[in-house]
Chains A and B, each alone.
Chain A
């Protein structure tokens, strides 16, 4: 009897969650979708709390309060640039929770069925990899860990060996009994944690969106396995939904780079010889910096030329990149765009899927700066319009507008779809410097005759430009 009610209840919760996710199709409805899903999950938790014996309320309730308050206080404090790091951190916390639940269930030898034990081993393994991997990823995104990808000797081999050991110990655990279980569970846990670290340090910079999406999928997977262990349908179903979402986002990010998942994660394309960012590039640095594009003309100051270009243009397309967020220039960028729009010109924003540190990150950054959403366009929608545009304004973007991606074979970004800023009649680049982006591939756009480079801090440059345009 009670079972039937529980099943109905679970089905209702699940239906509400799916409806909530469905509401994410529309930016205006998404907020209510978030509330729906949140409410459904709190109901699911509430019924479990309600049914549990009184003495657990104190212990578990205390822990619940501590975790919730911690989560709330962090959620209130972060800004939108820090979102990927924060989500990575929360993701790791969820992975750790799944991992610990299965660790306790497995090591104390509860009466799990055979498949339940196997699910437990997977929850332990995937949860631990999610935890340590997310912590490294979050550290990289927050700037606490060196962001460049780090490969040790025979990285793939070591990683494969680590996974094999974790699996072997895990299956040994299923067969073992008594105190050996604790040792084997601990071994599985440690090997998995190590794998997570090895896995994440190999990825960096512009590949972070793929890593974050994949870790998201794994935290769902571990929660799903955990649901099988604890025989909870809500847990299993939620885990499956998250895994599905994470996998789709991972796929979307890989497609945006036109690279396979394996190439991104195991570094197939990033054999680092030819000119990484740090290597001295044979470019007229220093003295030749700014006047390079002015050659002989009266208008040597690039700022003057930039203002002229803006005044002369009727169709302007902005290309924001992650550098914009690093320079805290979102607001100045939107301000300049609004200013140009007030001058009666057509203004669009071209958003590359990889312009940020997680899928869709750029949209959130611009939303925080209160952009009019009608100005935002995705790569496929806007790319054909560059040819008709008078001016492309690149702010803190490099690889996503690098024409070498389509013209030079064999680079890390070859084949990646780019925003074709070089097709516009004029190009304005507001970047910190003219060094190559994360991929290390020199950007021919910078040396193009129609490009005006405004190097330096984007927020300061844009402020001066806005003054001039007024």
Chain B
């Protein structure tokens, strides 16, 4: 029970900090921001991995957990890659001007 209370606290505090930080990000970076946070939500791959690592899964459950790892990794890796590509445009256009 104590563990769960800590987790709920962690959720509440990071949510509040997240709101404060993200309010200050200029609209022109909203697409890269969303793309990056989208990648962050792929961190659920950690949950899927923990499920597999705990062992004792068989048949359909094992297959579903593996699909979860594939999907999470797809989200995580693809998300960061695409954000990186997008931000390169922002970087490139700034440099010749400075």
Interface residues of A (CB under 8 A from B): 14, 17-18, 20-22, 24-25, 27-28, 30-31, 33-35, 37-38, 41, 44-45, 48-49, 51-53, 55-56, 59-60, 63-68, 70-72, 74-76, 78, 80, 83, 86-87, 90-91, 93-98, 100-101, 103-105, 107-108, 113, 115-116, 119, 212-213, 216, 219-220, 222-224, 226-249, 252, 351, 353, 356, 358-361, 363-364, 367-368, 370-374, 376, 378
Contact = CB atoms under 8 A, between A and B. Distances in A.
Given A93-B42, A223-B43, A25 B14 contact: no
Contact of B87 (A30, A361, A372): A30
A219 B43 contact: no
- The B interface, classified by DSSP as helix, strand, loop or mixed, is helix
Interface in B41-68: 41-53, 55, 57, 61-62, 64-68
Contact of A237 (B10, B32, B83, B97): B10
A37 B65 CA distance: 25
B72 to A, nearest CB: 4
Contacts of B70: 63-64, 66-67, 70
Name the 5 nearest CB pairs between A and B, nearest first: A71-B78, A67-B73, A244-B18, A360-B30, A52-B53
Contacts of B52: 52, 56, 59-60
Contacts of A242: 18, 37-38, 40-41
A469 to B, nearest CB: 23
A216 B30 CA distance: 12
Most buried by A among B45, B50, B64: B45
Contacts of A60: 48-49, 52-53, 66, 69
Contacts of B16: 244
- The A interface, classified by DSSP as helix, strand, loop or mixed, is helix
25 contacts: A27-B94, A34-B80, A37-B36, A38-B80, A68-B74, A68-B77, A75-B77, A75-B78, A83-B86, A86-B82, A87-B35, A104-B57, A104-B64, A216-B41, A220-B40, A222-B41, A223-B41, A224-B11, A227-B47, A237-B10, A239-B44, A244-B14, A367-B86, A376-B28, A378-B28
A392 B78 CA distance: 39
B7 A59 contact: no
Contacts of B66: 59-60, 63
Contacts of B40: 17, 37, 41, 220, 238, 241-242
Nearest to B57: A104
Given A24-B29, A236-B11, A44 B43 contact: yes
Contacts of A115: 1, 4, 8
A230 B43 contact: no
A231 B2 CA distance: 11
